[in-house]
Amino acid sequence: MAVHPKKSGALQAVSLTPLIDVVFLLLIFFLVASRIADEEPQLDLDLPDISATLPATFQPSELIININSEGEYFVEGQFRPFDGVREIVRRAHTNNPLTQSVIIRADRRTDWERVAEAIGLCRETGIRQYSATMNDGT
């Protein structure tokens, strides 16, 4: 005995209700968006000039302390005494207390004590991001 299942009408007719809902939602969205777009240019605002300001994502440049083979400090394009380097590092830390970094570069023939003084200066002023490298001067 063969079983003949009843065919339902659900497969024969596609429901358009969800499609109509989506079309109405899109229509409402574009009507509201166009209304907001029309109102925005009508506001008469006197905006400040921002040409002289820094961008919000400004990252401070690294402070580089170079030490030559004679143990002299070269910072910001000039040879400086240790007290001058201390003042520059303090000023840099004051301007950027959280993000200031220092790179200490020394000739390999430099007395390690000079490098240790520069590292101590960074720690003394509160700069936590520093690195020291020794190179051969070539």
DSSP letters, the chain, are: ----PPPPSTTTS---HHHHHHHHHHHHHHHHHHHHHHHGGG----PPP-TTSPPTT--PPPEEEEE-TT--EEETTEEE-HHHHHHHHHHHHHH-TTT-EEEEEEETTS-HHHHHHHHHHHHHHT--EEEEEEE---
Q: Is residue 47 domain-resident?
A: no
| Model confidence pLDDT, tens digit, residues 6-46 | 666 555 677 888 889 999 999 999 888 887 766 555 545 55
As for how many domains the chain has, the answer is 1
How much is the pLDDT for 65? 92
Structural domain harbouring 101: 63-135
Q: Is residue 49 domain-resident?
A: no
Mean pLDDT over residues 65-82, rounded?
90
CATH number of the domain within which 90 lies: 3.30.420.270
Q: Is residue 30 domain-resident?
A: no
Q: Is residue 44 domain-resident?
A: no
